[in-house]
Chain A
Amino acid sequence: MLDWLATFTGGGLAAKATAAVTTTGAAVSTAAGTPGMPWWVWPLLLFITTFVLGIVAVLGGVGGGVLFVPIVGSFFPFNLDFVRGAGLLVALAGALAAGPGLLKLNLANLRLALPVALIASTFSMVGAFIGLALPNNVVQTALGITIVLIAFLFVVSKNTEFPQVGGSDKLARFLKIGGTYYERSSGKTVDWSVWRTPQGFLLFIAIGIMAGMFGLGAGWANVPVLNLLMGAPLKVAVGTSKFLLSITDTSAAWVYLNQGAVLPVIAVPSIVGIMLGSFVGVRLLATAKPKAVKYLVIVLLLAAGLRSLLKGLGIWN
Chain B
Amino acid sequence: MAKPQAEMLKSPAPQEAPAKASVAPQVEVAPEQLAYANVLLYGSWLGIALLLLSNIIYLTGLVKPYIEPAMLPQYWGMKASEFVQVAHMPTGWGWFSMLGYSDFLNFIGMALLAALTIIGYLILLPAYLSKKDVPYTFIVLAEVVVLVLAASGVLAVSGH
A interface, CB within 8 angstroms of B: 2-8, 13-14, 16-17, 20-21, 24-25, 28-29, 31-34, 37, 39-40, 42, 77-79, 81-82, 85, 89, 92-93, 96-97, 99-101, 103-106, 110-111, 114-115, 117-118, 121-122, 125, 129, 132-136, 161-167, 174-175, 180-184, 186-193, 231, 233, 246-247, 250-269, 271-272, 275
Contacts and interface: CB of A to CB of B under 8 A. Distances in A.
Contact of B43 (A6, A34, A96, A261): A96
A189 B98 contact: no
Given A21-B71, A132-B159, A77 B77 contact: yes
Contacts of B100: 2-8
24 contacts: A39-B69, A96-B116, A99-B41, A104-B37, A110-B32, A110-B33, A129-B157, A165-B4, A182-B25, A183-B9, A188-B9, A188-B11, A188-B13, A189-B25, A247-B143, A254-B114, A258-B150, A258-B153, A259-B84, A259-B91, A259-B156, A262-B110, A264-B58, A268-B106
A254 B150 CA distance: 6
Find the residue from A2, A8, A100, A261 having the highest chain B CB count within 10 A: A100
B13 A187 contact: yes
A28 B86 contact: yes
A101 B38 CA distance: 9
Contacts of A231: 5
Contact of A163 (B4, B66, B79): B4
Interface residues of B, number: 102
A78 B72 CA distance: 10
A265 B69 contact: yes
B78 A28 contact: yes
Contact of B117 (A8, A29, A110, A250): A250
Interface string B44-61: 110110011011001000
A190 B38 CA distance: 25
B10 A188 contact: yes
Contact of B97 (A4, A40, A101): A4
B132 to A, nearest CB: 13
Given A180-B28, A184-B21, A246 B40 contact: yes
B110 A125 contact: no
Contacts of A111: 136
Contacts of A175: 135-136
A130 to B, nearest CB: 9
A265 B73 CA distance: 10
A317 B5 CA distance: 50
